[in-house]
């Protein structure tokens, strides 16, 4: 048995709901003889009578009543499917995998996710925290769609846009004498114990810190390494040392920790959003358009 076309089901539902060929034809914006012919074609395809017709009325047969219920369901599902397809093509449905360095997960990423969820509630965003080198590799392999990483990085053949610039900042124990200064010269850290993130994988933030200290004329004294940002803050609160951090980590400060900006001249790093070159998947394109709206258009 042939499966009827959805078009014929739509014609039948109109007739079944109106129980009048003239009104159904007007509703469908077609001629009544053509509609009658289409319904006969549907009955022939199914091998069953769907309507009892007399000169005075149209009535549903049991098979017609069943097709009316199922036809309404099929038409509604077809409309939902068409709507989902349209929305997927517009980037309003789908999935995007986003990776970010730790310092971006405290302000940039939450801001982006809140606004993205508000505008595109049916797009799933999968978030991963990854180092800059790992993001570059994951972008090239297709493991992630968008990365928020720190420049400089090997982004050859990728597309990178600077989201913002971040100054070098410091986290200090609240009783530290340098806390009396509004901005702290980097040279003032020459005899301080520093808490830094590990040097691997490279390039890393600690490379920026060490290079800046050497440029200021001293070799930094690394007293402690810490992998996690929260651990760095805890070590500072415990008085183990001072932590040079990107400005984006300052919201992590807790009681017992004060924050200051390193006085110029001091390094400024760039937080960038990066994606593969070429045509973007629709959901990735809408996310990138949102990034442009939130940050890039104000630059």
pLDDT in tens, 5-29: 889 999 999 999 999 998 989 999 9
Q: In this structure, what token pair is assigned to residue 202?
A: 């490279």
Among 55, 52, 57, which Cα is nearest to 39's?
A: 52
- Which residues, listed in sequence order, are joined to residue 60 by a DSSP beta bridge? 51
- Average of per-residue pLDDT across 77-105: 83
Predicted local distance difference test score (pLDDT) of residue 170? 96
By the 8 A CB rule, do 168 and 266 touch? yes
Flag the least confident range among 76-85, 177-186, 231-240: 76-85
Q: What is the pLDDT of residue 93?
A: 80
Q: Coil, strand or helix: which one is 214?
A: helix
The string over 157-176, giving b where at least 16 C-beta atoms fall within 10 Å of a residue's C-beta and e elsewhere, is: ebebeebbebbbbbbbbeeb
Lowest-pLDDT range, 122-131, 159-168, 236-245, 290-299?
A: 290-299
Q: Average pLDDT, stretch 125-140?
A: 94
**Mean pLDDT across the stretch 95-112?**
91
Q: Is the model's pLDDT at 298 over the cut of 60?
A: no
Check residue 4 and give its pLDDT.
74
At residue 275, the 3 state secondary structure works out as strand
Q: Is residue 2 pLDDT above 70, yes or no?
A: no
Q: Is the pLDDT of residue 201 over 80?
A: no
| Sign of torsion over alpha carbons 25, 31, 33, 37 | negative
Residue 202 pLDDT more than 70? no
Which domains are present in the chain?
Answer: 6-89 (1.10.10.10), 95-299 (3.40.190.290)
Q: Is 180 helix (H, G, I), strand (E, B) or coil?
A: helix
Q: Is the pLDDT of residue 220 over 70?
A: yes
Other CB atoms within a 10 A radius of the CB of residue 203 amount to: 16
User: How distant, in Å, are the alpha carbons of 136, 144, 154, 177, 223 from that of 141?
Assistant: 9, 8, 14, 48, 37
Give yes or no for residue 299 having a pLDDT over 60: no
Nearest to 185 by CA among 221, 213, 224, 205: 213
Q: Please report the pLDDT score of residue 117 as a whole number.
A: 94
Segment 23-68, tens digit of pLDDT? 989 999 999 999 999 999 999 999 899 998 887 889 999 999 999 9
Residue 111 has pLDDT above 60, yes or no: yes
The yes-or-no verdict on residue 3 having pLDDT over 90 is no
What is the model's pLDDT at position 297? 63
Q: Determine the average pLDDT of the residues in 194-198.
A: 90
Average pLDDT in the 222-239 region?
92
Distance CA 36, CA 5 (A): 16
How many Cα atoms occupy the beta-carbon half-sphere of 179 within 13 Å?
15
Which residues neighbour 18 within 8 Å (Cβ) at sequence distance 6 or greater? 24, 27
Average pLDDT over residues 256-266: 93
CA triple 228-229-233, angle to 5 deg: 120
CA distances from 123 to 30, 91, 255, 258, 265 (A): 39, 8, 38, 39, 43
Residue 296 scores a pLDDT above 70: yes
Q: How confident is the model at residue 146 (pLDDT cuts 50, 70, 90)?
A: very high
CB proximity list for 45: less than 8 A, separation 6 or greater: 1, 2, 4, 8
Residue 248 neighbours by CB distance under 10 Å: 23
pLDDT for residue 200: 73
């Amino acid at each position: 048995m042939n499966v009827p076309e959805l078009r014929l089901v739509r014609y039948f539902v109109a007739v079944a709901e109106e129980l009048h060929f003239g009104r159904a034809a007007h509703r469908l914006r077609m001629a009544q003889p053509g509609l009658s012919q289409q319904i006969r074609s549907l009955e022939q395809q199914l091998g069953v009578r769907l309507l009892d017709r007399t000169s005075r009325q149209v009535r549903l047969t049991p098979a017609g009543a069943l097709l009316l219920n199922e036809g309404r369901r099929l038409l509604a599902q077809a409309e939902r499917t068409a709507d989902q397809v349209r929305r997927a093509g517009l980037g309003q449905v789908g999935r995007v995998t986003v990776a970010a360095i730790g310092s971006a997960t405290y302000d940039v990423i939450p801001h982006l996710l809140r606004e993205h969820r508000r505008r595109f509630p049916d797009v799933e965003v999968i978030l991963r925290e990854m180092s800059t080198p790992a993001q570059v590799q994951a972008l090239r392999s297709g493991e992630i769609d968008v990365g928020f990483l720190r420049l400089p990085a090997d982004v050859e053949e990728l597309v990178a846009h600077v989201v913002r610039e971040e100054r070098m900042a410091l986290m200090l124990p609240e009783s530290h004498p340098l806390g009396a200064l509004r901005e702290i010269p980097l040279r003032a850290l020459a005899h301080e114990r520093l808490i830094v993130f590990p040097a691997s994988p490279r390039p890393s933030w600690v490379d920026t810190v060490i290079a800046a200290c050497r440029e200021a004329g001293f070799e930094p004294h690394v007293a402690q390494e810490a992998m996690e940002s929260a651990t760095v803050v805890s070590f500072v609160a415990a008085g183990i040392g001072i932590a040079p951090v990107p400005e984006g980590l300052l919201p992590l400060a807790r009681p017992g920790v004060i924050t200051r900006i390193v006085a110029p001249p001091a390094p400024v790093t760039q937080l960038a959003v990066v994606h593969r070159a070429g045509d973007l998947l629709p959901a990735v394109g809408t996310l990138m358009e949102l990034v442009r709206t939130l940050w890039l258009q104000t630059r």
